[in-house]
Amino acid sequence: MSSNNNQMTLAAIDLGSNSFHMVVANIVDGNIVVVDRIRDSVRLAAGLDKNRNITTEARDRALECLRQFGQRIKGLPEDAVSAVGTNTLRKAKNSNDFLKAAHQALGYEIETITGLEEARLIYLGVAHSMAGAEGRRLVVDIGGGSTELIVGEKFTTFYRESLYMGCVSMSRKWFANGKLTKQAFKSARIMAMLELRSVQDFYSGLDWQTAIGASGTIKSIGKVSELMGWSDTGITAESLSKIRKAMLDAGDIKHLSLKGLSDERLPVFPGGVMVLSAVFEALKIKHMLVSDGSLREGLLYDQVDRIRHEDVRDNSISTFCERFGVDQAHVARVKKTAMYLFNNCLSVWKLDDELRHMLGWAAEVHESGLAISHSQYHKHGAYLVEYTDLAGFTREQQRSLAALVRSHRRKFSNKLFENLPGNTGKKLRKIAVIFRLSVLLHRSRRDRSFSEVKVKAGKNSLKLEFPDGWLDEHPLNKADLVAESKYLKSAGFKLLFK
């Protein structure tokens, strides 16, 4: 990370469905000091065609924005930049192709996050920006294609939900022609209330004391509410009602004039108002505060937590292992050997701390599939890892972890790693070799140290030299290594041992 004494520079980038945002901050003695913010209304969601592909025009707008972002942060280390895509990139069929081009334009890797992970990060950003708000809080964030509802207290989330409606999708559905009619309002309300129906009773009964809104749509509505004199602070049910009346009186978006409403926000404003109105109605909200913090601030604080070795992903893995009854004693054996092999390959294979974490997590979860069946348990475990909600992990990280679990025994498939973004697959392929050997050497499930084994890594090879006579005394291990060398040879990797 870019650092100077007690200061380091981090950047967080949010590829939202409506706008792309970047915030650059200096971290001084653990405190975040924002030094730059850049925003561009890319409207990626509006650039999806009927087949859910990102159009050429939307792609070009997005890549030009990312080139500008890239110029601003050029020179920052890879681990100082956190860039994530949200709802539109989750939905787009050609998102993988776009992400490859986006990586090149930005100069840094971009990963997509699930709706629930987006909700967690949003809450983290809001919690830090409004640390004075006491008690249990409901946080609402309306993006271009999704709406997140989170209930938490202090910096901890209790419940998270991501709904498939946003200011762009709602505006495209009911206000694309710019007409603001009673029928369009009625249809939009019904659609939003139907989406909220599954969570309405549950969230209403969670005993939260304060409602807080975040991101562009809610900030815009809050600004209009205050500047029009309809609310002293934040948003009220009454101020929302007056905004809807003003919209109906205008009859058309081009005739709508509200203090605080920018021309840039105008095309997606009606849809955002209807989504928030439905949230107020369904959850019986009377007043909502507006936060400056959101997803990108959450990304920054998440990075800071990792610097402090408070990685939420560690907690997610621990909870996952407990849920599926993983044998912790065996995990410890495999993990210890995996770290030994990793350290011996570190310099030759140019491994990094993120790969070390990934190897450790793989060791912890690799037997989770036994909770389903011993037969093909590596496949069951890979499925559980990829599709369970693991807070702190991006979708790409979960796919990478699943690939390690899937490949830790039997046939070694290069295809598992070829489909991973950027250079991730090439790096993980070697981590998989280390992992396979660590599992194989502990097949007896007894406490055993391999610190006396000499390890020599080559470009696409690994040589293990055991103490004299050890292999003859352990014929099962020897047979396993012979079989493993054949598996790896078919994958283009050479395993030598004596």
Express each pLDDT in 73-115 by its tens digit: 999 999 899 999 999 999 999 999 999 999 999 999 999 999 9
pLDDT at 29: 72
C-alpha pair distances (Å), 335 with each of 332, 391, 437, 444: 5, 22, 11, 15
Give the pLDDT confidence of 345-361 residue by residue, as tens digits.
999 999 998 899 999 99
C-alpha pair distances (Å), 87 with each of 98, 290, 312, 452, 495: 14, 22, 22, 50, 43
Could you give the CA distance from residue 109 to residue 130 in angstroms, rounded to a whole number? 30
Q: What is the DSSP string of 159-196?
A: EEEEES--HHHHHHHHSTT-B--HHHHHHHHHHHHHHH
Percent of residues, the chain, with pLDDT higher than 70: 98
Domains and CATH numbers, the chain: 2-112 (3.30.420.40), 116-297 (3.30.420.150), 311-448 (1.10.3210.10)
Q: How confident is the model at residue 290 (pLDDT cuts 50, 70, 90)?
A: very high
Amino acid letter for position 9: T
Segment 477-486 mean pLDDT: 93
The full length of the chain comes to: 498
Least confident segment among 198-207, 239-248, 424-433: 424-433
Cβ 239 vs Cβ 273: under 8 Å: no
pLDDT at 332: 95
Stronger pLDDT, 129 or 421, i.e. the higher one: 129
Nearest one of 30, 21, 36 to 3, comparing CA atoms: 30
Segment 408-433 mean pLDDT: 84
pLDDT at 228: 97
Cβ 177 vs Cβ 254: under 8 Å: no
Could you give the CA distance from residue 25 to residue 7 in angstroms, rounded to a whole number? 10
Q: What is the pTM of this model?
A: 0.82
Segment 399-409 mean pLDDT: 93
Residue 418 has pLDDT above 90, yes or no: no
Cβ 259 vs Cβ 227: under 8 Å: yes
Q: How far is CA 250 from the centre of its chain?
A: 40
Stronger pLDDT, 446 or 248, i.e. the higher one: 248
Q: How confident is the model at residue 32 (pLDDT cuts 50, 70, 90)?
A: confident
Instruction: Read off the tokens for 94.
Output: 């050609």
Cβ 488 vs Cβ 495: under 8 Å: yes
Residue 2 has pLDDT above 60, yes or no: no
> Which residue(s) pair with 22 in the sheet?
13, 38
pLDDT at 307: 79
Cβ 86 vs Cβ 168: under 8 Å: no
234: left (phi over 0), alpha (psi -120 to 50) or beta: left
Residue 3 has pLDDT above 90, yes or no: no
Least confident segment among 25-39, 401-415, 428-442: 25-39
Q: How confident is the model at residue 419 (pLDDT cuts 50, 70, 90)?
A: confident
pLDDT at 425: 82
Cβ 171 vs Cβ 272: under 8 Å: yes
Give the pairing type, strands 31-40 and 7-15: unpaired
Average pLDDT over all residues of the chain: 92
Q: What is the DSSP string of 373-388?
A: -STTHHHHHHHHHHHS
Cβ 218 vs Cβ 288: under 8 Å: yes
Q: How confident is the model at residue 131 (pLDDT cuts 50, 70, 90)?
A: low
